[in-house]
Amino acid sequence: MNFLNRIKTKNLVKLSILFSVIIFLCVNIITNNVFNSSRVDFTEKKLYSLSNSTTNLLKNLNEPIHIRLFVSGNLVREVPQLSTYANRVETILKTYSDISNGKITLEVIDPKPFSDEEDRAVGMGINSFSATEMSDALYFGLAATNSTTGQKNIPIFSPERETFLEYDLSSLISELSQIQKPVISILDNLGLMADSRIGKPEQQILKQMNEMFKVEMVSENNNKLDENTKVLMIIHPKFLSDETLYMIDQWVLKGGSTLIFLDPYAETEVSRQPGMPPMNPRSNLKKLLDTWGIKFDNKKTVLDKEFGFKITRNIDGRDMQVTNYPWLNIRGNGLNKNEGSLSNLSTIVMTTAGSLEKANKDTVLEPIITTSRKSGLGDAQKAGDPKNDPRDFLSSIKSDNENLILAGWIKTNLNSSFSKKDGQLLKSQNKSNILLVSDADMLMDRNWLTQRGAFANNGDFVLNVVEQMVGGNALSDLRGKSTSWRPFDKIIELEKIAEEKFLLEEQRLAKKLNEMENKIRDLTQNNDNNSDVLSPETIEAIDGFKAEMMSTRSQLRSVKFDLRRDVENLKRWVIALNVAIIPIIFAGLALIISLRRKNYSTKNFG
């Protein structure tokens, strides 16, 4: 105490600050070296934390995967708003590598202009972009390979996809970990395959799936799936035997990924008897749906005033433009953008779709596609009749101001729909992974594709879901997180002011530079002497232009520097404040404690 009493208050403050800085630096050095692989995520939305599903995927990898992160060294300087995102990508990839027990290796590459690294980036499908017209190409993408010939990339880490960063990375890892094409088993009662009897081609969705996966078509009489099946796709189920229903039941209870398309009136169903209408256009999976706690009325279709599709229909002998309320052009709030399979999609078209409901309060159904609040239910058979006037439905749409569910996930523990048999599962081994969709017509080309191209995202949606399911629950459980981008409004404001102030000058100098380069080229090409030797006058003119060009380039660099000077100064203050705040707090606490001790000592021993 006597030692503290002899120290002047002014010197005590200096010592407190000095020791606080030393302590702060020591703590940082120790944590960086001792706890290099340990991380604590203090972000609001846990942006740097991985889900349990991803952790399990990484721990169970059998295939070695090498990841190359291509990120330009000057990315943060040229595009400062990407700095946090770039740091997050690299941090999460290091976490992937740490958790994988050596199965994932990470290589961070700076593809500088005209370097071998840039050639590697371009060769592996990484896209470049520029901050301005005058700046060098920048790279911020990823390429990954497995031990065979498998390669997947993210050509560019777009800020719009930051919400789904973990999903995109885990999906890529999941695909590379499977050396052979995943098997997709399809039980189809709609008619996606080509049919030469009626001149119907193979539907585009099935064609794309055959390119990406090994597709196995399952007949109604085949009650056993391929042992390598990753996803079971059931389209417009009806007249299924108990044996087939039992096969589906047991597959679901094992946690098998299942994609089911129901329909209250399948307008596009291909009849098994050419020239005759289908015997029954309604899907029927009631036995399983009842056990799962789902209500699906196969006699009712959804009608929607907001999402109704504009069509041309012959009414009373005249072609008229009318809104067909049972045909839905679903967009905006009707698509759950937190769902990975829908995040980048804009429109889904469904025709005479049904509605999915929870049968009881214990049912777990997570909606991903819904109607607007201006919707109701109507007679499915009447809605599917192409001779009816769709306007007749308008008066019958009785809306409860609720969004009806058109597609949703069932992710819960389920019971069997059958009484006990030998070797039967009575309860789920794993949480179910079922997606129910209440329209099967959406799979047919008519609903989303013309000769000029796609007018809806039906095909993208189906392929996204199947890819997601191939990864099992590890991918299906992932949902979008928040983004790491938190804009500094003052910095953005200064950037805009600086850009407005200096942009015209930059454009003027760039134009002048371009003109001088053209003059030098013209002088070289139009040399008066008909030889390769330039005349003295031409050389003198070229030297003059080169000197002026060097001066112009210097001015252009100065303008670019001025363009960022105010912004950089503000950023330095922000960084300095963030770095200094902890030492200042420690110094303040140390000072308060020291002064209190000094006062205490003076009172008791003075």
Q: What is the pLDDT of residue 487?
A: 47
Distance CA 369, CA 335 (A): 5
- Report, as an integer, the average pLDDT of 310-330: 87
In the chain the domains, ranked by start, together with CATH numbers, are 52-176 (3.40.30.10), 183-476 (3.40.50.880), 489-605 (no CATH)
The vertex-180 CA angle with 174 and 184, nearest 5°, equals 80
Judged by average pLDDT, the poorest of 281-295, 509-523, 568-582 is: 568-582
For residue 585, pLDDT over 90 is answered with no
* Prediction pTM value: 0.64
- Please report the pLDDT score of residue 258 as a whole number: 96
- Give residues with Cβ within 8 angstroms of 481, minimum separation 6: 45, 46, 47, 163, 165, 166
- Better-predicted residue by pLDDT, 362 or 258: 258
Q: How far apart are CA 460 and CA 344, in angstroms?
A: 9
In DSSP terms, 356 is beta-bridged to: 296, 405
3-state secondary structure of 251: helix
- Count CB-CB contacts under 10 A for residue 71: 23
Q: In b/e form, how buried is each residue of 423-446, taking b as 16+ CB within 10 angstroms?
A: eebeebeeebbbbbbbbbbbbbbe
**Buried (b) or exposed (e) across 86-122, using 16+ Cβ within 10 A?**
bebbeebbbbbbbbbeebbebeebbbeeeeebbeebe
pLDDT score of 340 = 84
Cα–Cα dist 563/97, whole Å = 40
Q: What integer pLDDT is reported at residue 178 of this predicted model?
A: 81
For residue 296, is pLDDT > 60? Answer: yes
Q: What is the mean pLDDT of residues 565-584?
A: 65
Mean of pLDDT values over 526-535? 57
Does the structure show a pLDDT above 80 at 520? no
Asked if residue 292 lies in contact with residue 316, where contact means CB atoms within 8 angstroms, the answer is no
- Integer Cα distance of 403 and 405 in angstroms: 6
State both tokens at 263: 């329909």
Report the pLDDT value the prediction gives residue 131, as an integer from 0 to 100: 81
Over 50: is that where the pLDDT of 100 sits? yes
CA dist 519 and 522 (Å) reads 5
- Quick one: which of 173, 260, 244, 178 has its CA closest to 212? 178
Residue 276 has pLDDT above 50, yes or no: yes
**pLDDT on residue 510:** 66
Residue-wise pLDDT for 177-225, tens only, equals: 887 888 999 999 999 998 887 788 999 999 989 888 899 999 877 788 9
The predicted model gives 523-547 an average pLDDT of 64
- pLDDT for 326 beyond 60: yes
How much of the chain exceeds pLDDT 90, in percent?
41
- Strand 229-235 to strand 294-296: parallel, antiparallel, or no bridges (unpaired)? unpaired
Confidence (pLDDT) at 51: 76
**How many degrees, rounded to 5, is the angle at CA 529 between CA 527 and CA 530?**
95
Cβ(428)–Cβ(414) under 8 Å? yes
- Looking at residue 372, its pLDDT comes to 94
pLDDT at 484: 45
What pLDDT does 180 receive? 80
Residue 98 has pLDDT above 90, yes or no: yes
CA-based nearest residue to 325, from 399, 254, 258: 399
> How deeply is 449 buried, as exposed, middle or buried, from its count of CB atoms within 10 A (0-12, 13-18, 19+)?
middle
Please, are residues 334 and 368 in contact by the beta-carbon 8 Å criterion?
no
> CA–CA separation, 12 vs 140, rounded Å?
49
How confident is the model over 127-150, as a mean pLDDT? Answer: 88
Tokens 């999976």 correspond to 285
- Indicate the helix (H) or strand (E) that contains 121: helix 116-123
Give residue 482's pLDDT. 42
CA–CA gap between residue 554 and residue 547 (Å, rounded): 11
Mean pLDDT over each residue of the chain, to the nearest integer: 81
Helices 458-470, 165-176: inter-axial angle, 10-degree rounding: 70
